[in-house]
Chains A and B, each alone.
Chain A
């Protein structure tokens, strides 16, 4: 089945630790995105990538980093600089870059701080 796979489903971070959330898609989509969702809130854009080896900051990029070395993969690292990382993280993709299209979402990763 084609889709977006996020792992792990649950992740715990200790103080001062960096953690990486995985996002893989087999839809052959060009563009990929990371959103953060806090309880009762909408989705806020962290980073997006329109093409391999290129990515752009979203509205809340501070304390996060990404890479896009392969078309299929767009991992998100939550660094120790992110002081309030507890949230639900959603990865998404769309078919082409720069087009006004719908997004396809993964099932999310819940990150909590120990």
Chain B
């Protein structure tokens, strides 16, 4: 099954800096979703971007999608210690199963 792959696997930054995570995938998608997971907890949906969209914003989050390169990026601006978590991209294939398939995630640590 299709799976997005996040890069980097781990990211450590200082509070106030921006954090950028990338996701690459292999086949055509209907949409791509980003989720956040705090340690030992469930996932929380952040943003869904459809294949005909190039950029979406939500608060301090900015997601871009480049279908020609089969990649997406998640930018967190002015990061806070509370942003420390794992971030997952999930792809939904076009014309196939509607169920999101998850990558392995990026572990983000924001130092106060």
Contacts and interface: CB of A to CB of B under 8 A. Distances in A.
B98 A99 contact: yes
B31 to A, nearest CB: 6
A107 B103 contact: no
Nearest to B34: A102
Nearest to B31: A100
Interface residues of B, number: 24
Contacts of B43: 43, 90, 92, 103, 105
Interface string B50-79: 000000000000000000000000000000
Interface of A: 4, 6, 33, 35, 40-45, 48, 58-59, 88, 90, 92, 98-108, 110
A59 B33 CA distance: 20
Contacts of A58: 99
B45 A42 contact: no
B99 A102 contact: no
A42 B35 CA distance: 11
B42 A107 contact: yes
Nearest to B1: A59
A104 B98 contact: no
B85 interface: no
B41 A108 contact: yes
Given A42-B3, A48-B99, A106 B42 contact: yes
Contacts of A99: 98
Given A42-B3, A42-B103, A59-B1, A100 B42 contact: no
B20 to A, nearest CB: 20
Given A90-B43, A102-B33, A108-B42, A43 B1 contact: no
20 contacts: A4-B42, A41-B104, A42-B3, A43-B88, A43-B102, A44-B102, A48-B99, A59-B1, A92-B42, A98-B98, A100-B98, A101-B48, A102-B45, A103-B33, A103-B43, A104-B45, A105-B43, A105-B44, A108-B42, A110-B40
